[in-house]
Structure 1
Amino acid sequence: MESDPNALRDPYKPDMGDSELPDLECAICFCQFNNVFNTPKVLQCKHTFCLECLARMNIKSNQPDTIQCPLCRSYTPLPDLGLPKLANNSTVLSYLPSAMQHVYSIRFNRNKGKLQVKRVPSSVPIHTHTVSQSLDVGMPAGMQGSSGEGRERSLLMTILRTPLCKAFLMSTVAIIAVVLTITIIILQQKR
């Protein structure tokens, strides 16, 4: 029986035939897999997604020790050392350029909502200037207040992390402190 090259691929089918190439992009974010934050991770159901998307899903989940497949809804328990220790899809990695077949060591800090590169091995060609050392994936589901307080705090923290906003805020606080000091001096001189 000959396969039809024009037939649509079944996204729910985890197995691939001999002639079929694996998807080289994440089915969630459509970004190409790489060896850093978009490392192809395999769930128990054999579906593959990038580490970043799985981290974003885990952040929003009320079950931090498991990850639910967005395609088939089956659960995969996370390894003891966390999300980055899920198995890599070696087939997908083998189709990446040779420089990208070595996977970086990544740490996932769920409480801070960050993926971080732990270390760059000396055997890897130095292109660390193009590799971001950390990636924000959001705040955990349990840390958000029921009245929207978590979202407001998250927005404030995002603003405060921006260098220009931080400089503006610090300048404003300094100006207010100077104005208050001058006002107090003037009021004391009038007595």
Structure 2
Amino acid sequence: MESDPKHPPDPYKPHADDDEPPDLECAICFCQFNNIFNTPKVLECKHTFCLECLARMNVKSTQPNTIQCALCRAYTPLPDLGLPKLANDSTVLSYLPTAMQHVYSIRFNRSKGKLQVKRVPSSAPALTQTISQSLDVGNPAGEEGERGSARERSVLNTILRAPLCKAFIMSSVAIITVIFIIVIIFIKINGKF
């Protein structure tokens, strides 16, 4: 197979004539794909990433209706129903364990920066019982400063209003006592007392 000089082969995609299985981990976070938050989603450029990474990218993007590929920088318009409705990479899904080949319905709330499992079927394997039903993917672009400073003020107010911890008081007294004893010993050794 000769390479076209105008369109060099994509180093991130296996060649069509390779019999190797596809990469089963996201090229961004290196987590293994699954059927919940790390569902393999394929972009128009044919690169595959997990839903969680795409959600984190979308939340930070100033263009909420498109997603830019982390590898080739091509843009993919998002479906009308949002990011979770991007096409699943069926080839990658076929290599996952049988119990993980059914993709769960996920909702993405960009304004809150959350991915949520809509519903878990009663026939769901025990695996999904241990997985969180929602995932925080960050603050939307442009709202970080406001949310961050409000969060910092809230934490600072909580610390300032909280009573001092007994351990902190006892540690402080012990340190002051040790310093006082060292000063006394130093003065006695130098004979100025």
Q: Structure 1 length as normaliser, TM-score?
A: 0.72
Shift of 1:46: 0.4
Counterparts of 1:21-170 in structure 2, within 5 Å, are 21-144=21-144, 148-155=145-152, 169=158
Measured on the aligned residues, the alpha-carbon RMSD in Å equals 2.7
- Corresponding position of 1:19: 19
> What amino acid sits opposite 1:20 in the alignment?
E
1:48-84 CA distances to partner (integer Å, 9 max, x unpaired)?
0000000000000000000000111111000011000
Q: Structure 2 length as normaliser, TM-score?
A: 0.72
1:155-181 CA distances to partner (integer Å, 9 max, x unpaired)?
567x69xxxxxxx949x47x8xxxxxx
SS of alignment partner, residue 108 of structure 2: strand
CA radius of gyration, larger in: 2
- Corresponding position of 2:187: none
SS of alignment partner, residue 62 of structure 1: coil
Gaps of 5+ in 1: 2-8, 161-167, 176-191
1:59-115 CA distances to partner (integer Å, 9 max, x unpaired)?
000000000001111110000110000000010001000011001110000000000
> What amino acid sits opposite 1:34 in the alignment?
N
Q: Distance in 1 between matches of 2:131 and 2:121?
A: 13
1:131-188 CA distances to partner (integer Å, 9 max, x unpaired)?
11000000000323xxx4443235567x69xxxxxxx949x47x8xxxxxxxxxxxxx
Distance 1:95 1:51, change over 3 A: same
Distance 1:11 1:125, change over 3 A: same
> What amino acid sits opposite 2:112 in the alignment?
K
Q: Distance in 1 between matches of 2:128 and 2:12?
A: 36
SS of alignment partner, residue 91 of structure 2: helix
Q: Distance in 2 between matches of 1:155 and 1:101?
A: 42
SS of alignment partner, residue 142 of structure 1: coil
SS of alignment partner, residue 58 of structure 1: helix
Number of corresponding residues: 156
